[in-house]
Amino acid sequence: MGKVHVLDHPLIQHKLTYIRDKHTGTKEFRELVDEVAMLMAFEITRNLPLQEKTTETPVMESTTNVLAGKKIGLIPILRAGLGMVDGMLKLIPAARVGHVGLYRDPETLTPHEYYIKLPSDIEERELIVIDPMLATGGSANDAIHSLKKRGAKQIRLMCLVAAPEGVEVIQNEHPDVDIFLAALDERLNEHGYIIPGLGDAGDRLYGTK
């Protein structure tokens, strides 16, 4: 079963509290999501493989480590996932970015895919699926199925806030996928919103309603 990693770095937790606050306006919300995404990128890449490299320092020859060339692909789920991409690219600037467009029907809560565009070599990449919210899990589940159908082999899921219901869906459907969260919340309400959550992530990022 995939592991759930709650990233409890104090800076992530501090900024998430202000992201949750309903008084935080669009500009600040966007900035905070960007900052948290960058901090989460630091944690999620912690176990990337290294290889030795010999260089000449001004003093002597030295053998130290560099990344072992593992290629990364970021896969934001549109639209809210886009809000986390730039923050991640600050730490992983060479990553390729694929997009999966999904919206959740507000009545049935089922996801509908409307767009997909991926790097051509996804089967060779470590993919990080990005979405601020993991609620019923329907959207992330669909996105991951879509990626696997197209050849993806290694996938991690990164979200700001998750409900236990969504985590369970991903763990059951995709036991090979580790989940990285800033917070695991209490539950979903009757409208499929995460409690306490942060409201509608897409609307708060883009100032829509």
Instruction: Cite the active site residues.
Output: 104, 108, 200, 203
Which residue, 123, 141, 190, 192, is CA-closest to 163?
192
Is position 19 an interface residue for ligand PRP (rule: CB under 6 A)?
A: no
Question: Is position 103 an interface residue for ligand PRP (rule: CB under 6 A)?
Answer: yes
Options 39, 118, 139, 167; binder of ligand PRP; rule CB under 6 A: 139
Taking phi over 0 as left and psi of -120 to 50 as alpha, with beta for the rest, 57 belongs to: beta
- Find the binding residues for ligand PRP in span 171-200 (CB under 6 A): 192, 200
Of positions 18, 42, 103, 193, contacts ligand URA by CB under 6 A: 193
137 binds, among ligand PRP, ligand URA, none (CB under 5 to 8 A by kind): ligand PRP
CA distances from 63 to 47, 50, 51, 52, 69 (A): 20, 12, 10, 6, 17
CA 192: distance to chain centroid? 20
Which CB sits closer to ligand PRP, 15 or 204? 204
Q: Shortest distance, CB of residue 190 to ligand URA, whole angstroms?
A: 12
109: closest CA among 80, 145, 136?
Answer: 136
Q: Is 199 annotated as a binding residue?
A: yes
Return the SS3 of 107.
coil
Nearest residue (beta carbon) to ligand PRP: 202
Integer Cα distance of 27 and 20 in angstroms = 14
134 is in an annotated binding site: yes
Shortest distance (Å) from residue 107 CB to ligand URA: 14
Hey, how many other C-beta atoms are within 10 angstroms of the C-beta on 167? 20
Q: Which residues bind ligand PRP (CB under 6 A)?
A: 77, 79-80, 102-104, 109, 111, 131-140, 166, 192, 200-202
Positions at the binding site for 5-phospho-alpha-D-ribose 1-diphosphate: 79, 104, 131-139, 200
